[in-house]
Each structure stands twice: as structure tokens, then as C-alpha cells.
Amino acid sequence: MRNEASISPFFGAYNARHINAEEVAHQFVPSSKFWELIALRNTLLIGPRGSGKTHLLKMLQPKALAAWKGDEGETARSKVDYWSVFTPADINWKTQVENRAQGLSSEDQIQFSNAVFLSHFREAYIACLIQLTRDRPSVDFGGKSTRVELPREKEVALCVALAETWRLPLRVPSLDGLKLALVEELVRVGVPKTLTSLSPYMSRLTSMTVMDVAREVSENFVNITGLYGARWALCFDELEIAPISIQKNLFSYLRSTDQRFVFKLAISPSNDASALLNQVGNASSGNDFDAIPLWFVDQGEREIFCSRLWEKHAADTHAATLSPIVLLQRSRFQFANEEISHGRRRYQETSPWVKDFQYLERIDRSFAEFLKRRDVSTAALSTASREKMNAVVRKVAPLVGFRATYFTSPKSSVASPPVRRKLKGPPPEVFSGWDAVCTATEGNPRWFGGIASRLILKWTQSPSGRALTREQQTHELQAAARKFLAWINAIPIENAQRGTPSLSLHDFISALARYFEQEILGPVFKADPVLSFTVDEGTPESIRRLVITALNIGAIVIVDDDVVNFMTSPVGRTFRLVHLLAPVFNLPMRKGKARNLSGILSKQLGNLDSRAPTSKRPGEPVDHNQMGLFNE
Amino acid sequence: MNSPKNCRPIISTIAPGDWFGSHYDLAIFALGFESRATSFIEDIACSKDRSFAFGFNHGHDKSYGTNLDRFRDAGVLIRQSLPDESFERELRGALQLVSDEACQNLFVDISCFTRFRLAAIVNEIFSIAQNRVNSLIVDFGYALANFEKPSTRRPPNTTVGPAHPAFAGWSQGSYSSTATVLGLGYEQDQAMGVVEYLQAGEVWAFAPNSPVQEYKPEVDNANALLLSEIAPNHVIEYNVCAPASVIATLESVVRGLSVEHSVVLVPFGPKIFVLCTLIVAAMRQDVAVWRASQGSRIEPHDRVWSGVRVGMRLTFQGCQS
């Protein structure tokens, strides 16, 4: 049973890897991605860490489906036509296996890692059978789709048959006994001297494949139960952590014609496995499998998902009956837009927008000149022509508000550039409000859960019961950004050659952020600032790899319109920094125009030749449509 | 870690009088660039040709030259410019001098060894101990450094992983989520970064109480965000000068966590805590000890001895008897 004291800190508290199937169901909020996932098709879930891959796969488990209360649970159970085997992985486990195998020859290392992984998969398969038969939720909504009646004598027969096939010593002939025997076998592998003389159980596994293991269990199960129509979804989480031989196995199965199995694979957007999948002759997206990217392109869909996540976190608290907007208010800029939602009156004399325009015009000569060039008068914004309103006023309004928050008037003469305010932290006017929370978290359930739960806790502890202050909200967003940056800082760099300056992921992100900050808060007002980057041919290989790493951990987001699929190379693709980092780097939460990456980094870091040869000169900015402060 | 559980030493905190009064059959020092590297040299009586100072293949500046001279003057055998791989081989060679014909006494000054080398030392000592008939007594010495403001320019990590392959751990019960036990240091938000890196499901933190008072506010400050989110009963203050007690507490926490988790110890902060985590891991078979290292990219700066020394004794009773 979890309690407040045992919940891990940070985003880990909302990491589905740490919770059991029943709790997974209680915390689950289905997005449209889930309804795509449950189809009886091979599926690749593609997303960075925290994007909900584990939660989605764990929800397919029989016990999680059976514990899912409500109409949506009913719908899901009626549509899921298979039983799911969830196989987890994590970096600590991977490290243990790699280190244990270190003393072996390279061939033996592969076989050893393969065998350990397959034993792990077997254990997951048995866990699934236990969920189908004995390990049921406390309130069981599941019907036939999630449950199998398995009399004790049949259970014994199944376990004995499997143990004999596997050459596994079995002390207690039950599914739990079988699982325990598998655990004990792996514990024995932990003793180094056993590596040179593997047990018959492990030796047999060294030459097997995922499909061999799956068929063995499935066929024995069918023989005993007579359930000839049984179909299985084999779900593998964090596939990039699995041994490469297993990854190859699994990708080849995406073209499998064995009707008994479908594969649901969760993987980060780009890694070595991408190349495997993109090889000629391999499975292709749309034909052999569905690729489901786990990030939101549509802002409206993201907000709906965030609202539902909020409801889930607020349930059983005093905030349960209140909308998040009551607690957090609207974001300042959003509020200004909605105060008067139509027509020119939004820019009437007393509106906050007009005040921002007039203030910035007064303190920032470059902005005043911009307005003059476009023949826009801040005294008459509401009477600007429709064309001017669309092409100029609305387009720059969020940037004007952002810049006005950060600047004050120059001390010497009005001809000087405006002066940055001395702020103690990110300005609460910008980084607060419901819209800002949704945008900053990008609809990433782990980030959103971490921030929303802290905000709800703060509100429930507040005796006044009023909305949380903007300062409180900004503090939480800033803290979340710092946690994320701390993680980025911990990620080890690749080994660079001696004498070659190496760029850490943190340095890379910071260099980009400083460039974008100058675009928006530099001495000259820019109506179309660069806030995104396109990876060009001139980008050194080492930096392309940093781009991939940044993408996989969720520090950057793809913003071009190309088909989202596995990415073997980032060249030609356009990205922006994740909005979660905006408060610590003083960036607006919007996409902006894109510029070639090599050009940005040359400016920030100097000559990139020392990092790798460049083949082309940095290109020109790439145009993208400008949107609102919190719009994508 | 391949040491059997029954090879369990008796652990005690020792005072300067204990190492002043001892005669050692083997002594091991680190030849580094910090001036505290030689703070034990004059107090340790050791058999002739049985004292070794192991050098590094980087960082030959600051007090390196002075240390080299002092070790030479004291008759210590120098093994200069060793990469880590060679260090293990040389260490093993030195430890082979420890005979099993009678009880033997070893001294190790841990002050300037890296986490990797400390792990290699603990691993070798436990390996030797498990094959001995006679007792083996190992005294570890640690010279606390004076306080210095941590550098604001921190080079990127080159390694985040087990301190040594022998300390990678091995999950004992099925697939289990990771629990992290941190030792807090004064590197800004570094402990928190590793927690996120490991995606730990449970986090405990050990915060040092040092006789050098200036450390505490810096440690609190560097870990403020982390400490604000860990339940207060998951934060344990420990006395840097009482390592035996630290090991007892650590073991207790690890024992509790390992029922449901794969435990990873991540010791930032003083080397004496690093040693405590390695010993706990060496006595079990399942726990990992991780490090976050900047390798040779770290800027060398001298750490001067504060005048405080801490000692810990492991007494192996002869595991083969």
C-alpha cells in the first residue's frame, strides 16, 4: 500500500513502472492514443521518457483491465481481444546484466544477455497467467476477456509440463511456484562462477528466441485449457534497453503471420533500433504495424487530456469539485484574449494588451520603430484595419506582453535599448495559470502529474481556499524545470577524443536556450524570433547524436509536419526546446521561426570544425507560421 | 560482488591511538595531487617494502610533486601514472604479499582514492578475506579536507554507473523497481539528477554531519530541491566520524528496501561514506554502488587536510576456518 511517505520524489511518483496493475488502472486516464493501441494489430508506441508508454502498456494487462471502473473500462474490455504479457526493463537491470556478463567472450555475452532477457520474459508470461487465473483485483469488473477458469489439477499439469520443457527444477507445482523457480534461477545466475557453467535451464535459453518462448507457453496453455482461440499481445517496454539480438527478433516479428500473437513495443523516438526497423525488407508503418507517437500535436486535444489528468489528481481532495481554472486562473495572456473574445474590442483602450503595447513602445525604441514602419498606432489599436490586426497586432501581441514583462525603461536616453528588469525568478505573469501549466508540461502525464499534484496539495493546505497565487504556480513550474535540468546534467557524455572539446547535453541545451533568449529578449524587438532549429547537413555528427539524445529524453520536441516515425537521422527535421524548460531560460512557450542548427551553434560556441567536419555552410532561417504565446 | 555472506567482518570505528599503536604488514596510499594524500604517512608503522603509493595517469600538478617526495622519503614504494586497469593489477600484486600464515594487519588511506579505486580495493580485500584461514585486520584511514566552496563550473559526467563491475548488484527477487540510497554531497542538484536518471521508485538520503562545520549549509543548499521532496523520515543524518554506526544504519535501510526493490547506493559526499556503502554492498550480494564521475575532466584543486582524521577497522575472523 502506498502512502505519502513512501512515494518517491519528483516525476518518479507518477511513473507507472513503480505501481501494480490495479493501481495503474486507478490512475489511468485514456487519451486517444490508448484507443489506437488496443487494436488487434502490431503497434509501436514512440515517445520520450514520461510520455506514458509504460502506463499504456501496463493498462493492457488482464488485471489492470479488470480493475478499470466505469464505461471506458467496459468499452476497453469489450474491444481487447487478447491477453497481454507486459515485459518491463530499466537501466539498472540492464547495467546489472551487462556487468555480470563482462568477463565472458563477446559471443557468450550475447548468449548470456539473451538468456537472461528471455527468462525475464518467461516470468512476465507466467505473471500474466497468474493475473488471468488467481491474481484478481479487489473489485473485479473483468469478465471472460480478462479471466480464465483454471482448475487446480490443470494448473499443476501446466506447470509440470512447462518446468519439464524448460528443464527447470520445480518444488511447488503451481503458477506461483513456477514464478518463484524462475526467480531463483536468475538469482543463481548472479553468482559469478555460474557464468562459466550455465544450468541446463539457462543453456537451453541461450539459443532460443522470443517467439520460441512465447510459443512454448502458449501451446502448453492451450493443450491444458483447450482454449484454442487464445491470442496474446506481447508488450515490451523500453525496448531500446533490451539486447540488440532481442530487438532484431521483435522487429522481424512485426511481419509475423502467426495469428496467435501481436506485438506492442514501446520505444524512444530514435536510437540504434531505428536503423534495424528501417532496413529494407523489414516491417513498415501502416502496413505491418501502427506507429503511435505519444506527443500532442493538437493543442485542444492536449488541454482535454490535461483536464482529465487534473480531475484524476484532484479526486478525493477538496479540489475535486473545482475546475483547474478556479484554482489556477487563466494565464495572463490567455485571459486578455478571452475577456473580450471577438473583434477589435479586445484591443480597446483599457485592455491589458493595449497597455503592454503602449508600455513597450515607450521604453523600447526598436519596438516603437517597428510600429511606425507598419503604421500602427498604439492609441488606436482597436480601430486598426482587419488586415493590420491579423498581420501585425495579433501576431506580435504575445511577444509584446512577454518582452514588456522583462524590460524596463533605459536609464540614460530613450535612444538606448531597454534594460532587463532584475527579477528574482521567472515572472509570474508569464509562467502561471492553467494554460501555462498545460503548455509547459506538453501533456506529458508524468510531468503534469508531478506539477498538478503539488499545486493541488498547496491549495488544499491553504487556509484561505482562494486561488493559488501566480508566484506559487511559477515556483512549481520553475522547480519542475530545475529537476529536469538536473537529470539532463547527470546524463554522461560520449567519450570524446583526447583534446577534442566535448559538449554535454546540458551545454547543448543551454547554448540553444541562450540563442533563443537573445532572439526574444535581445536589444532589438523581433516580430518573428527564432525559437526552433532545423538540423542541417553542416551539423557535426557528435551534435546530431546529442539531438537524438535530447529527443529521446524529451528535452526537445519535433515541430515539423513530416510523418512521425522512427528517426534514423535528425537531419532535415525541425525541433524546439521542450516548454518545461521555458521558465529557467526565460523563453516564451511557443514554436517560433526555425534556423539551421549549425548556424545557431557556430554563433554560440564558435567554430564547429573542432567537433567534426562541416560539409555545408549554415543555411538561412526556415519560415514557420507564427502563433500565440501558448499555441503550437 | 562475489563475497559470500558468511565472510562478514566485525566493524568498529577506531581512533588515532589505534593506528599509532599498530604495526602493519601492508599499507596502501594514493599518490594524488591533494596535499592531504600524505597526512597519514608519518603515523603508520609498516614492514619494510610493504608500503605502496598508487598514482594516477592524470592530475600531476598541485601538491603532486611534494607528495611524491614525501612518499619517497618515507620509503614508500611508488607506482606512478597508473591507469585504472593497471591499478587493479598492481593492487592485486601488492595484496599477494599478505600471507595467510598468521593474522595480518593492513592499512588503507582512502582520502585520495577515486570511487572506482576504492571499490577495487574493497572488492580485492573481501576476495582475499574469504579465502583465508587466519584473521585479517584492515584499518581504513580518512583525512577530512578543509572546507572549500564547490566549483560553480562542473564538467559533464563521463560515467554514471556502477563504481566497479563487482558492484553492479544483482536483483534478488523477480523484476523489481529501483530504490536509491543517496549520500549527499555539495555538488548542486547532482544527487537529484542521478535519482531521475535511475527513475528510482523510492529514495532515501544520508546527509553528513561533519566536524568541519562549513559543509552542512552547502550540502543543504545544493540539495534543497531534493530535500524538499523526500519525506523527512527518509533523510538520515550521519556522523562522518562514526563510520561503523553509519554502516549499521545503512545496512538496516538496505535490508528493508531490498525486500521489494533493487537497491542502488549512490554515495556523493565524503569518501568515508563511499567506503561505508562499498562495505555494505560487499557483505551482501544484491546491492549496487553507483558513481557519477567527470573522469579526468575534473579540474584538479588541492584539498588540504583539516586536522580531523577518521578510522574504521574491519576484522575478518578467517572465513575458511
Show the CA angle centred on residue B194, arms to residues B191 and B198, nearest 5°.
145
Within-domain flag for B227: yes
Decide if A144 touches B, using CB distance below 8 A.
no
pLDDT tens-digit series, residues B88-107: 999 999 999 998 888 899 99
- Using 70 as the pLDDT threshold, list the residues of chain A that sit under it: 1-14, 192, 271-275, 278-282, 333-346, 414, 494-501, 561-566, 609-632
Residues B43 and B109 in one domain: yes
Task: Check A9 against B229: CB less than 8 A apart.
Answer: yes
pLDDT at A14: 66
Cell numbers 589505534 correspond to: B18
CATH of the domain at B108: 3.40.50
Contacts of A457 (CB under 8 A, 6+ apart): none
CA distance to partner chain A, nearest, from residue B227 (Å): 9
Q: Between chains, do B196 and A8 touch, taking CB under 8 Å as contact?
A: no
Q: Which of A326, A294, A292, A333 is nearest to A311 (CA)?
A: A326
* 3-state secondary structure (DSSP) of residue A86: strand
- Does the CB of A500 have a partner CB in chain B at under 8 Å? no
Identify the pLDDT of residue A621: 38
- CA–CA min distance B37, chain A (Å): 27
What's the pLDDT tens digit per position in B243-255? 999 999 999 999 9
B199 to A6: CB separation less than 8 angstroms, yes or no: no
Among A5, A8, A489, the residue with its CB nearest the CB of B193 is A489
Residues B230 and B139 in one domain: no
CA distance A462 to A326: 14
| CA-to-CA separations, A56 to A21, A236, B52, in angstroms, rounded | 11, 11, 57
What mean pLDDT do residues B40-69 have?
Answer: 93
Report CA A164 to chain centroid distance, whole Å.
42
Count the domains in chain B: 2
Nearest by CB: B292 against A88, A484, A490: A490
Helix (H, G, I), strand (E, B) or coil at B272: helix
Spatial neighbors of B203 by CB under 8 A, at least 6 apart, are: A8, A9, A12, B179, B180, B181, B182, B195, B230, B234
B234 in a structural domain: yes
Best of A23, A92, A453, A493 to mutate (most B CBs within 10 Å, chain B):
A92
In a domain, B154, yes or no: no
**Kind and range of the H or E run holding B23:** strand B23-24
Q: Do A95 and B168 touch (CB under 8 A)?
A: yes
User: CB distance from A484 to chain B under 8 Å?
Assistant: yes
Mean pLDDT of B64-86: 95
Partners of residue B171 in chain A, C-beta under 8 Å: 93, 96, 186, 190
Q: Label residue B234 by pLDDT band (50, 70, 90).
A: very high
Inform me whether the C-beta atom of residue A92 falls under 8 Å from chain B C-beta atoms: yes
Using a CB-CB cut-off of 8 Å, the residues of chain B touching A425 are none
pLDDT over threshold 50, residue B19 = yes
Chain B residues in contact with A446 by the CB 8 A cut-off are none
Q: How many CB atoms lie within 10 A of CB A4?
A: 8
Q: Looking up cell 515541430, which residue turns up? A: A559
* Residues of chain A with C-beta less than 8 angstroms from the C-beta of B174: 123, 179, 183
Inter-CA distances, B193 with A92, A327, B237, Å: 15, 31, 21
Amino acid at A488: I
- Strand stretches in B134-216, DSSP E: 136-145, 159-162, 178-183, 202-209
Q: What is the mean pLDDT of chain B?
A: 91
CB contact under 8 Å between A507 and B192, yes or no, is no
Do B56 and B179 reside in the same domain of the chain? Answer: no
Chain B residues in contact with A11 (beta carbon < 8 A): 196
For A205, A247, A249, A266, the CA distances from A244, given in Å and listed in that order, are: 16, 5, 9, 15
- Strand pairing class (B178-183; A232-236): unpaired
Q: Which residue range is the domain that position B231 belongs to? A: 159-297
Of A9, A90, A504, the CB nearest to B226: A9
CA distance A615 to chain B (A): 28
Cβ of residue A91 closer than 8 Å to a chain B Cβ: yes
CB pairs under 8 A between A and B: 144
Counting DSSP H helices and E strands in chain B, the numbers are 9, 15
Å from A211 to nearest chain B CA?
21
Q: Are residues B196 and B132 in the same domain?
A: no
CA dist., res. B71 & res. B77, Å (int) = 8
Contact flag B201-A8 (C-beta cutoff 8 Å): yes
Domain membership flag for residue B2: no
A496 CB burial (10 A radius; 0-12, 13-18, 19+) = middle
Assign residue B174 the CATH number of its domain: 3.40.50.11700
* Residue of B197, B223, B284 for testing the chain A interface, max A β-carbons within 10 Å: B197
3-state secondary structure of A302: helix
User: Which of B199, B235, B236, B258 should be substituted to probe chain A, the one whose Cβ sees the most A Cβ atoms within 10 Å?
Assistant: B199
Mean pLDDT of B297-321: 86
B211 and B290 housed in the same domain: yes
CB contacts of A5 in chain B (<8 Å) are 231, 233-234
Please name the residue ranges forming H helices in A315-444: 324-328, 332-339, 352-363, 365-373, 386-388, 394-406, 434-441
Q: Which residues of B touch A8 (CB under 8 A)?
A: 195, 200-203
Give the CA angle between residues A22, A80, A231 to the nearest 5°: 105
Name which of B154, B197, B203 is nearest A8 (Cβ-Cβ). B203
Given this model, what pLDDT does residue A544 score?
93
The Cα of A489 is separated from the nearest Cα of chain B by a number of Å equal to 7
The interface predicted TM-score of the complex, written ipTM, equals 0.87
Residue A78 CB coordination number (10 Å): 10
Whether B194 sits inside 8 A of A5 (CB atoms) is no
Residue B179's DSSP bridge partners are B202, B263
List CB contacts (< 8 A) between A487 and chain B: 192-193, 196-197
A183 touches chain B (CB under 8 A): yes
If phi over 0 gives left and psi between -120 and 50 gives alpha, with beta otherwise, what is residue A225?
alpha
Q: Give the nearest chain B residue to A478 (CA atoms).
A: B225
Sort out which chain A residues have CB atoms less than 8 A from B192's CB and list them. 10, 483, 486-487
The CA distance from B157 to the nearest CA of chain A, in Å, is 5
* Lookup: cell for A498: 583526447
| A3 inside 8 A of chain B by CB | no
**Residue A276: all three cell numbers together:** 534495424
Q: Give the mean model confidence (pLDDT) for residues B248-266.
A: 95
Q: Is the pLDDT of residue B120 over 50?
A: yes
* β-strand partners of A83: A232
B134 with B212, same domain: the answer is no
Average pLDDT on B43-61 reads: 92
Contact residues, chain B, for A123 at CB < 8 Å:
174-175
B8: distance to nearest CA of chain A, Å? 17
pLDDT at A501: 59
Global pTM? Answer: 0.89
Same domain, B281 and B210: yes
The answer to whether residue B34 sits within a structural domain is: yes
Closest residue to B199, CB basis, from A7, A12, A95: A12
CB contact under 8 A, A190 and B234: no
Could you tell me if B193 and B212 lie in one domain?
A: yes
Q: Which helix (H) or strand (E) holds B46?
A: strand B45-46
Which residues on B lie below 8 Å from A485 (Cβ)?
A: 189
pLDDT at residue number A279: 66
CB within 8 Å: B197 and A183: no
What is the predicted pLDDT for the residue at A562?
A: 64
User: Which of A3, A8, A104, A189 is best to mutate for the B interface (most B CBs within 10 A)?
Assistant: A8
Q: How far is B229 from chain A (nearest CA, A)?
A: 5
Q: In this structure, are B132 and B167 located in the same domain?
A: no
**Chain A residue whose CA is closest to B293:** A492
- Please list the alpha-helical segments (H only) found in A102-142: 106-133
In a domain, B171, yes or no: yes
Whole-angstrom distance, CA of residue A526 vs CA of residue A542: 31
Does residue B152 lie within any of the structural domains? Answer: no
Radius of gyration of chain B (CA): 19
Determine the pLDDT at residue A344: 46
pLDDT given at position A49:
84
Q: Are residues B252 and B187 in the same domain?
A: yes
Query: In this structure, are residues B299 and B4 in contact, taking their beta carbons and an 8 Å threshold?
Result: no
Residue B246, judged by CB atoms within 10 A of its CB (0-12, 13-18, 19+), counts as: buried
Q: Is the CB of residue A221 less than 8 Å from the CB of residue A230?
A: yes
pLDDT at A337: 45
Cβ pair A17:B230 closer than 8 A: no
Same domain, B51 and B135: yes
How many Å lie between the alpha carbon of A193 and the closest alpha carbon of chain B?
A: 9
Residues B235 and B308 in one domain: no
What 8-state DSSP symbol labels residue B186?
A: S
Q: Give B104→chain A minimum CA distance, Å.
A: 28
